[in-house]
Chains A and B, each alone.
Chain A
């Protein structure tokens, strides 16, 4: 039982490049979410999903896309990376919204 697995752990991109952060969970959780963590700020919700085929925007969705084709996977896509997207990204999941979440180990992303 691996929990929530995020890849990669580290990534450096150039401005304008695109990439996908992967997130997978093996706990059959319906609710999955992506957060970014910036210095001096609390975690902020980017996008979330309450089940396969259903996604919605969080607090800071601009510049990011998500999809949820299976219960297990919830990838986060950066369409055209900008330096303001330099951050640590966390994926989290729970059985349902409102329940304690299981977090991945994070992806540290730097955009030059």
Chain B
């Protein structure tokens, strides 16, 4: 079983829809990161979470440590949100980052 799993793998949406991307994990973590990889390949860190919820603009990230689950929400989605969203865990024991395989989001006008 992979230490980190994202769902769905692919997601299409109409502009304006509310988007949820999920990340489940099976190891103890000290933090969880959400990253965005643009179609051109560049990677940007969106959030780092160790508990609760964070919000930046239309993006909201939540984490439930007990359930080993995090979600990334996008409100009022826009075509420019089209990207691959990657969940990454910092393993509590090894301090290494473990990356998910990503969720490919396409938002159509």
What is A's interface to B at a CB cutoff of 8 Å? Answer: 35, 40-45, 58-59, 88, 90, 92, 97-103, 105-106, 108
A88 with B41, Cβ < 8 A, contacts A42-B4, A42-B100, A100-B33 known: yes
What is B's interface to A at a CB cutoff of 8 Å? Answer: 4, 30-31, 33, 40-45, 48, 86, 88, 90, 95-102
Interface residues of B: mostly helix, strand, loop or mixed?
strand
Instruction: Report the Cα distance A99→B50, complex, angstroms.
Output: 12
Write the nearest CB–CB distance from B43 to chain A, whole angstroms.
4
**Which of chain A's residues have a CB closer than 8 A to the CB of B95?**
97-98
Check B48–A43 contact: CB distance below 8 A: no
Other A-B pairs beyond A41-B101, A98-B90, A102-B45, 7, CB < 8 Å? A35-B99, A43-B88, A100-B33, A103-B43, A103-B44, A105-B42, A106-B41
Instruction: Report the Cα distance A105→B44, complex, angstroms.
Output: 10
